[in-house]
Chain A
Amino acid sequence: MRELSLHILDLVQNSIEAGANQVTLDIVEDRHTKDTLVIRVIDNGRGMDEVTCQKVLDPFVTTRTTRRIGLGLPLVDMSTKRCNGHLVVTSTPGHGTVVEALYQHSHLDRPPLGNIVETLKSIVIANPELEFSYCHTVDGAVFSLATKQLIEILGDIPLTQPDVLVWLHEYLTSNVMNLYK
């Protein structure tokens, strides 16, 4: 995948398919001191036992029944390894899973974060029952979003209401841009 944002969308979809109704996404960029970019997806899905957890980076292992190979996590794993990084998957059956991908921020092969705004819009709008929190830090500047807060404000107005869509797009775009100032 060309963008880390696409991997993020994929990881969150994994969480949803594991039955999660709460997902937290943390992106931590440290461009100067540690030179790292960390993506962490934490869910409260059904989790995996130790044996399955060790096998998830193998493309020939999947929980899917429609097809026998799963490429999501192996693709992330590959991209981290190209950039002096790593992928760590930790899971507790019945409690949930944490997926953490680390990249050397300045590495030439590191895919760009890409269009995180469209990834967030897709997650937030197309999964209204998901309690999703996002926290993005760039060298100490922080932007966070929680769907719970949005839904509390909106009440019975759906996130697909056209004016709400426009607001969400502008809100995310300006706040994410602001992180890199």
Chain B
Amino acid sequence: MKTIEDLKRLREQVQSETRVRQANSKQIIVGMGTCGIAAGAREVMSAILDEIAKRKLEDITVRQTGCIGMCEKEVLVDIMLPGEPRITYGRVTTADIPKIIVEHVINGHLIKEMVVGKFTE
């Protein structure tokens, strides 16, 4: 069984490696309003976290947000890469997550057919 002590040991191990990479992190945002949750947002979130753990991605921040009014297009997943507009993908399922992470988050290529919105902040 994992304990808090394991986390303390883990911190010692990863401390030196991680610190450098955090400044320019990539953001993934999942819509977690009632509409998103009912459409499967938690499962999508789990798939994202699994993918980060599996691919050992160190520079990603994951956030959740509420309803933004596109309930019929939930689950909504936003990707924000440094210096680029915020891209919203709609009707995302767990099966789409590996593709979004590899194509967009890692390689920087939009998956055009899934985009439902683009915001320049």
> Per-residue CB proximity of A84-119 to B under 8 Å, as 1/0?
000000000000000000000000000000010011
Contact at A126–B30, with CB atoms within 8 Å?
Answer: yes
* Contact mask for chain B residues 9-46; partner A; CB cutoff 8 A; 1 contact, 0 none: 01101110011001000000010111001100011011
- Expressed in whole angstroms, the minimum distance between the Cβ of B36 and any Cβ of chain A is 9
- Distance of A155 Cα from B34 Cα, bound (Å): 32
Interface: B71 (CB within 8 A) = yes
Q: CB-defined interface of A145-181 with B at 8 Å, one 1/0 digit per residue?
A: 0000110011111101111111101110011001000
- CA separation between A104 and B96, bound complex, in Å? 38
Name which of B60-68, B83-91, B97-105, B107-115 contacts chain A.
Answer: B60-68
CB distance from B112 to the nearest CB of A (A): 25
Name the A residues within 8 Å of B43 (CB-CB).
118
Bound-state CA distance A178–B2 (Å) is 12
Q: Is the CB of B38 within 8 A of A1?
A: yes
Which residues of B have CB within 8 Å of A153? 4, 7-8, 11
Given A127-B64, A162-B56 in contact, is the A157-B11 Cβ separation under 8 Å? yes
Say whether B52 contacts A162, CB under 8 Å: yes
Contact between chains at A1 and B37 (CB < 8 Å): yes
Q: In the assembled complex, how far is the CB of residue A72 from the closest CB belonging to chain B, in whole angstroms?
A: 4
Interface of B is mostly: helix
Q: Does B95 contact A (CB under 8 A)?
A: no
Cβ A174 vs Cβ B1 within 8 A: yes
Task: Establish whether residues B11 and A122, one from each chain, have CB atoms under 8 Å apart when the complex forms.
Answer: no
Contact B22 A158 (CB under 8 A): yes
Which among B22, B46, B64 is the interface contact of A156 at CB below 8 angstroms?
B22
Q: Is A46 in contact with chain B by the CB < 8 A criterion?
A: no
Do B42 and A122 touch across chains, with their CB atoms under 8 A apart? yes
CA distance A169 to B38 in the complex (A): 23
- A160-B52 contact in complex given A64-B67, A122-B42, C-beta closer than 8 Å: yes
* A162 in contact with B58 given A70-B34, A156-B22 (CB within 8 Å): yes
The listed residue (A122, A150, A157, A165) touching B53 by CB distance below 8 A is A165
Q: What is the CB-to-nearest-CB distance from B91 to chain A, in angstroms, rounded to a whole number? A: 18
Give a binary string over A8-45; 1 marks a CB under 8 Å from any B CB, 0 the rest.
01100100110000000000000000000000000000
Contacts A/B (CB < 8 Å), 9 sampled: A6-B38, A17-B66, A126-B63, A153-B8, A154-B11, A157-B15, A163-B14, A163-B53, A174-B1
